[in-house]
Structure 1
Amino acid sequence: MKTSPILFTVLALLCVAPLAQAQGNAQPVAQAAANYSQPKLEQFANAYRSIVILSQEYAPKLKAAADIQEAEAINQEAQGKMVSAIQNAGLSKEEYQQIATSLKADPKLVERVNQILQEKSAQD
């Protein structure tokens, strides 16, 4: 059974959305985007890949949840693992969120991250 990419996005956003709310005093996105080093973007790409894998793992569990309480418990577990994946990649939740937000406003940054992801996929 193939799970919808939209569901993966929803799960990833569930991890990221609470982080955005905590970002009250973030520096402007355009200014921040110019400051991302290649190693920092590689850390982001590693975290992103881990989050996608976790999303694939948790999507069927979330879909099969018997009720809202079970779904919330599964979602909470998934979010915890996603935050751990971000930290294991060497980023803080705030750094991950800042880069993710910057991607929305900077097509060149998207290209850089996509290039990193493609290179890593080729290595696997």
Structure 2
Amino acid sequence: MRKLTITALMSAMLATAPVASVFAAQQPQQAAAPQAQQIEVTDSQLKQFAGAQESVNEIRVDAMAKLEKVEDQNQAQAIQQQANQDMVNAVQDSGLSVEDYNLIARAVQSDTNLQSRLKQMGNG
């Protein structure tokens, strides 16, 4: 029972949280404020975002698989913290700051044009 509770909680947090909120703990409070305005995203930034997003998703899937195998809450928390740090590193390795990644992630969620551009990059 306890394993299921931890796994369900952590899986829900990693799987359903918007990409931008994964890094919320890394950001100053003002950066967490919703940004309704549209931002201009260059093709270069979108390519960087796509690469970072792929890495972030791989890290998320790996962390969820590990979480399914742990029963200890401390181990689960350590896995989550490591995954978050790995995600930050993946974003920074892509050439984007975490703040820029989060801004683009929020924009992609609400802008169908950006969604289309991102899909085209994945297929091309």
TM bucket by the smaller chain? 0.7 to 0.9
Give the distance between the partners of 1:11 and 1:54, measured in 2 at CA.
14
Correspondence list, 1:1-124, <5 A: 9-10=15-16, 13=19, 15-18=22-25, 19=27, 21-23=29-31, 28-30=36-38, 32=39, 35-119=40-124
Runs of 5+ unmatched residues, structure 2: 1-10
Give TM-score, length-normalised by structure 1: 0.75
How far 1:10 sits from its partner (Å)? 3.9
Deviates more, 1:56-65 or 1:74-83: 56-65
Deviates more, 1:72-81 or 1:107-116: 107-116
Offset of residue 7 of structure 1:
7.4
Q: Structure 1 regions of 5+ residues with no counterpart?
A: 120-124
Q: Is the 8 A contact 1:12 1:55 kept in 2?
A: no
* Contact 2:14–2:22 (Cα < 8 Å) also in 1: no
CA distance in 2: counterparts of 1:96 and 1:54, whole angstroms: 16
Q: What's the secondary structure of 2:31's corresponding residue?
A: coil
Q: Which residue of 1 aligns with 2:5?
A: none
Deviations 1:66-87 (A, max 9, x none): 1221111000000100100000
